[in-house]
A = this chain, B = another copy of it.
Amino acid sequence: MSATLKEIAQRVGRSVTTVSRALAGYDDVSEETRTLVRQVAQEMGYEPNIAARQLQKQRSDTLAIIVPTFGPRFSDPFFSELLAGLGNEAARHGFDLLVSTRPPGDDEQATYLKNIRSRRVDGFIIVRTRARDPRIELLQQHRFPFVAFGRTENELNYPYVDEDSEHGIRLVVEHLVQLGHTRLACLAAPPELMFARYRLRGFTETLQRHGMAVDPSLIVTGDLTQRQGRELAGQLLDRPNPPTAIVASNDLMALGAMSAAQERGLTVGRDISITGFDDIPPAEHAHPPLTTVNQPVYKIGTVVCQMLIKLILGQEIEQQQIIMQPSLVIRQSTGPAKPSEGRSDQ
């Protein structure tokens, strides 16, 4: 069906070697031969057999991302956007992107190992880094190329891109404090996720810096889904002395929290302030539009991808570790704290 070098060679009356070199653009092929070969290759719709080339070159020109996710369904716009960034950049460099989802755990490790050993891919993109991340340890141990989106606890010496979550949340909290809020709740994320720690730390430290007490009962942990944001925020709001502002660790939970507030007849931005993190498209188009922290996910995807490809090609990387500064996007889901509102006791 699709042509091989051999077939072209027969047609042009040259050896396979010569055809190969003509196509590869080597200059030790006569102008005449080169033109002829190229033309015939074109005519025959020649496209090199990937497997053969891989076997010979010991490279697959393929990148992999294994999205750590619980449950079969996942639908976070955050990931769609990251995938688009990674995929488009990979394509620009002639690389393919292999995507799979796998829950964290032993099976996950096995999948990495298998891909490494079978030479299935040339490098990995690691997302949602964990405090102590076995994936990174495994990859380092095998000296296998990878770039992470996120840091780890012990700050190993590996290439990563991350945004400064702590700073992002600081901006959020300061914005709320300026608006007069004093009872702030936090929808935190699972503490094994590094970004969750940074965001939580940004929350508590900024409050403390402003001389405000941190009420541990106002810090609850969710699984980053809209559903949980809605449930947990609901519980928070149903308490006798509810918070006047809710700082969510991601937009999805914030959006859920908005629903919870609205279900209780509250007007978001007036009766309660809610903030997110990520700035996914729905944040802008929610009602009211969500105040959040903009994280350039698409951009991060492209940068991560570029770094990984350089690593694979053995090129120099200018900067091995990149921290991007996120920015606060003030929309209408935040507003001044209501004058007195149930402070004091209770």
Interface, chain A (partner B; CB < 8 A)? 1-3, 45-52, 54-55, 60, 69, 72-81, 83-85, 87-88, 91, 96-102, 113-114, 116-120, 142, 225-227, 229-230, 255-256, 258-259, 262-263, 280-282, 284-287, 289, 298
In whole angstroms, what is the CA distance A112 to B285 when docked?
35
Nearest CB of chain B from residue A185's CB, rounded to whole Å: 19
Contacts of A97 in B (CB 8 A): 98-100
Closest 3 A/B residue pairs (Cβ): A47-B117, A51-B54, A75-B77
Contact of A77 among B45, B77, B120, B229 (CB under 8 A): B77
In whole angstroms, what is the CA distance A77 to B252 when docked?
12
Contacts of A69 in B (CB 8 A): 84
Nearest CB of chain B from residue A160's CB, rounded to whole Å: 23
Contacts of A280 in B (CB 8 A): 75
Q: Are A96 and B96 in contact (CB under 8 A)?
A: no
Q: Could you give 25 example pairs across A and B, Cβ below 8 Å?
A: A2-B118, A3-B117, A45-B113, A47-B118, A49-B118, A51-B51, A51-B54, A52-B55, A69-B84, A74-B80, A75-B77, A75-B84, A83-B99, A83-B101, A87-B99, A88-B101, A97-B99, A98-B99, A99-B99, A226-B281, A227-B285, A255-B282, A255-B285, A256-B285, A259-B286
In whole angstroms, what is the CA distance A87 to B255 when docked?
28
* Known A75-B280, A226-B282, A227-B281; further 9 A-B contacts with Cβ < 8 A: A2-B117, A2-B118, A52-B55, A72-B85, A75-B84, A79-B80, A83-B99, A96-B120, A256-B285
Q: Are A119 and B49 in contact (CB under 8 A)?
A: yes
Q: Are A117 and B46 in contact (CB under 8 A)?
A: yes
Nearest CB of chain B from residue A184's CB, rounded to whole Å: 22
In whole angstroms, what is the CA distance A142 to B77 when docked?
35
Contacts of A262 in B (CB 8 A): 287
Nearest CB of chain B from residue A50's CB, rounded to whole Å: 5
Q: Are A258 and B281 in contact (CB under 8 A)?
A: no
**A99 closest partner in B (C-beta):** B99
Contacts of A76 in B (CB 8 A): 77, 80
In whole angstroms, what is the CA distance A259 to B288 when docked?
7
Q: Are A73 and B298 in contact (CB under 8 A)?
A: yes
Q: Are A74 and B81 in contact (CB under 8 A)?
A: yes
Contacts of A81 in B (CB 8 A): 73-75
Nearest CB of chain B from residue A309's CB, rounded to whole Å: 15
Q: Which of A60, A114, A226, A287 has the most CB of B within 10 A?
A: A287
Contacts of A79 in B (CB 8 A): 80
In whole angstroms, what is the CA distance A77 to B83 when docked?
13
**A89 closest partner in B (C-beta):** B72
Q: Are A116 and B2 in contact (CB under 8 A)?
A: yes
In whole angstroms, what is the CA distance A284 to B75 when docked?
13
**A114 closest partner in B (C-beta):** B47
Contacts of A77 in B (CB 8 A): 75-77, 80
Nearest CB of chain B from residue A254's CB, rounded to whole Å: 11
Contact A281/B225 with A72-B84, A99-B87 known, Cβ cut-off 8 Å: yes
Nearest CB of chain B from residue A77's CB, rounded to whole Å: 4
Q: Are A281 and B88 in contact (CB under 8 A)?
A: no
Q: Are A50 and B113 in contact (CB under 8 A)?
A: no
